[in-house]
Amino acid sequence: MTIINGGTKGNNGRSARRTTTKKLKLEQKLLLTLGCCATFLFIRYIRHDNSTTASLGRQAMMMRLGQLKEADKKNRKGGGSNSGRMLQIRRAMTDPNYDTYDKLLAQQILSAQANLIDVSFQNQHMLEEDDYSGVIGQFCPLNFQVQKENPPDSPMFRDVVSKSDGCDGENVITVDLKEAVTLAREFDAFATENEFDAAYYNVPNQ
């Protein structure tokens, strides 16, 4: 009996170590993905920002977002805050009768105007390698201009996040990352096939 118990304890120990190692690997992979996304979006922003048309398009988008947010505050109890609310990104982009403000938030993610700033685990028991199940992503529109204007003052990604007006607690967009990644791939394929730029896609007025 002692030998059996010892073997069981050993197996439990090895199983726990494997589970911990697996979680650590996934966390490292997600952090690496987040870093790569930040670098890619920074480069994309620099290139995109050189165009006056692109700059005006972003200003118009932010103005439209502000207008929709103010209208949403009047219609939604609790002041229209996104804090603690999960955006149903697929439904927002596919249901023609869905909330217009939420449609614009979803569009910001799919057109890379809102950037991935953080990830969290909803249910660690669901985590598996190469799968985003149980992972929650947080997005907001980053202002990379603060880093371009004064790199020494904003050397880290978190500095850009903290100095971006759209990244306070109320404006962070929370989504199921697996759903967002899947929809983004479908959206990119559709955009490529139909030769349109999602950055200039306008959500109809409410």
Report the predicted TM-score, pTM, of the whole model to 2 decimal places.
0.56
Structure tokens, 123: 């249910």
Q: What is the end-to-end Cα distance of the chain in Å, rounded?
A: 72
Residue 205 lies inside a defined structural domain of this protein: no
Residue 206 lies inside a defined structural domain of this protein: no
d(CA 159, CA 35): 14
pLDDT at res. 139: 92
**In degrees rounded to 5, what are phi and psi of residue 42?**
-65, -45
Q: Report DSSP state, residue 202.
A: P
How many CA atoms are closer than 13 Å to the CA of 42, on its beta-carbon side?
18
d(CA 121, CA 137): 9
Burial class of 12 by CB neighbour count within 10 A (0 to 12, 13 to 18, 19+): exposed
Residue 171 lies inside a defined structural domain of this protein: yes
Residue 59 lies inside a defined structural domain of this protein: yes
Is residue 72 within 8 A of residue 102, CB to CB? The reply is: no
Residue 152 lies inside a defined structural domain of this protein: yes
Residue 116 lies inside a defined structural domain of this protein: yes
pLDDT at res. 174: 92
Residue 117 lies inside a defined structural domain of this protein: yes
Is residue 146 within 8 A of residue 160, CB to CB? The reply is: yes
pLDDT at res. 163: 87
pLDDT at res. 54: 42
Residue 73 lies inside a defined structural domain of this protein: yes
41: left (phi over 0), alpha (psi -120 to 50) or beta: alpha
Burial class of 179 by CB neighbour count within 10 A (0 to 12, 13 to 18, 19+): middle
pLDDT at res. 80: 44
The whole domain housing 99 covers: 2-200
pLDDT at res. 190: 75
Q: At what angle do helices 52-75 and 100-110 cross, to 10 degrees?
A: 150
Structure tokens, 155: 């050397």
β-pairing verdict for 115-121 and 173-176? unpaired
- The count of structural domains within the chain is 1
Closest C-alpha among 18, 179, 156 to residue 93: 179
Three-class SS of residue 120? Answer: strand
Tens digit of each residue's pLDDT, the chain (206 residues): 433 444 444 555 566 666 666 666 666 666 556 555 554 444 444 444 444 334 444 455 455 555 555 555 554 444 444 555 789 998 988 888 888 889 889 988 888 888 888 888 766 545 555 567 778 889 998 888 888 888 888 888 888 888 888 787 777 899 998 888 888 888 777 777 776 555 545 444 44
